[in-house]
Amino acid sequence: MIEPEELPEFDQPQVTNISQADAQSIHADLVRMRQSSAGDMTADEVAMQQSAAGRMSADKATLQQSAAGFIKANHIRLNQSSAGMVSAGEFLSQGGSTGFIQAEKASLSGYTGAVVAGSAEIHHGMTGFIAGRDVHLDESRTVMLLARNVNGNVTTLMDTRSALIAGLVGGLFAGLMLLLGRVLFGRR
């Protein structure tokens, strides 16, 4: 029996270009997508235009008028795009919307559910919850803001003091309702 020799390894980068197509899983060094979709994507660099991805893991990801469910990358740039959950070292978003962002450095505008970052810059945006070490806001609105250092013009519905008061009042109200329910409907 003749043993096959080892298969040669190719040092050339693997590039995947997808246009107007659907893919279940993509693994490549560089992925370029235009008007396409992918379920799961792993790459060093991803560039998407008018495309969608379910789950993406990359070193660098750039989305233009695209959407992604989950993105994990060192550098992420969104332009008029949406993402459900983002985990990044550095995150930049211009327009669009994002559900949850966890990043060391985040700079964004548009709509965001929650931002947890070491340093966050929000310009002309609306955010539900912001937590960070240094937060810079410019004409932005937020429901709750927790930060060590805050700079800029922000309209906050609930700051740290308001959150504490709301928690105490909510706890007191819930306790009274439980006590009242026990008195009215309790067993004797």
Query: Which residues are bridge partners to 72 per DSSP?
Result: 57, 87
What is the per-residue pLDDT across 106-159, written as a single tens digit (0 to 9) for each? Answer: 999 999 999 999 999 999 999 999 999 999 999 899 988 888 999 998 888 877
Verdict on whether the full-model pTM lies above 0.95 = no
Secondary structure (DSSP) of 105-148 = EEEEEEEEEEEEEEEEEEEEEEEEEEEEEEEEEEEEEEEEEEEE
Burial class (CB within 10 angstroms; exposed 0-12, middle 13-18, buried 19+) of 131: middle
Q: Are 53 and 38 in contact (CB under 8 A)?
A: yes
- Tell me how many domains the chain contains: 1
Q: Specify if 170 maps to a domain.
A: no
Q: Specify if 140 maps to a domain.
A: yes
Q: Specify if 2 maps to a domain.
A: no
> Which two tokens mark 7?
């298969």
Q: Specify if 176 maps to a domain.
A: no
Question: Residue 7: pLDDT above 50?
Answer: no
Residue 145: C-alpha distances to residues 48, 152, 167 (Å): 32, 13, 15
Within the chain, strands assigned E span: 15-19, 22-34, 37-49, 52-64, 67-158
Which strands make up the sheet holding 67-158, listed edge to edge? Answer: 15-19, 22-34, 37-49, 52-64, 67-158
The pLDDT assigned to 161 comes to 80
Q: How many residues does the chain have?
A: 188
The pLDDT assigned to 2 comes to 54
Q: Which domain holds residue 145?
A: 15-158
Question: Residue 9: pLDDT above 80?
Answer: no
Share of the chain above pLDDT 90, in %: 73
Of the pLDDT bands very low, low, confident and very high (cuts 50, 70, 90), residue 187 is low
Q: Could you tell me the sign of the dihedral formed by the alpha carbons of 111, 113, 114, 117, in that order? A: negative
